[in-house]
Amino acid sequence: MKSILLLSAAAAVLALTSGCENVKPWERGNLTDYTMQPDRTPLPSGQIQHIYFSREEATGGSGVGGGGCGCN
């Protein structure tokens, strides 16, 4: 009985002090900031991806494809 209570208490304490906090839908202003974007320069990034998939066989998976023939 005592060990179950101890386990429950530990679980409750963990739940309260885990430090995890969901960001509420109305608190996402900072996440939408320009500085939070993973890719802030989409055009040059697209060009670089194009060069990679055209010239290198071992690339792909970024929304582009190619066999490394250099023909596209």
Binding site for another protein (CB under 8 A): 1-2, 5-6, 8-9, 12-13, 15-16, 24-30, 32-33
Q: % helix / strand / coil in the chain, to the nearest 5?
A: 50, 0, 50
Closer by beta carbon to another protein, 15 or else 58? 15
**Angle (nearest 5°) at CA 19 between 9 and 8:** 10
Closer by beta carbon to another protein, 13 or else 51? 13
Secondary structure letter of residue 24 according to DSSP: P
Least distance (Å) from another protein to the CB of residue 42?
A: 17
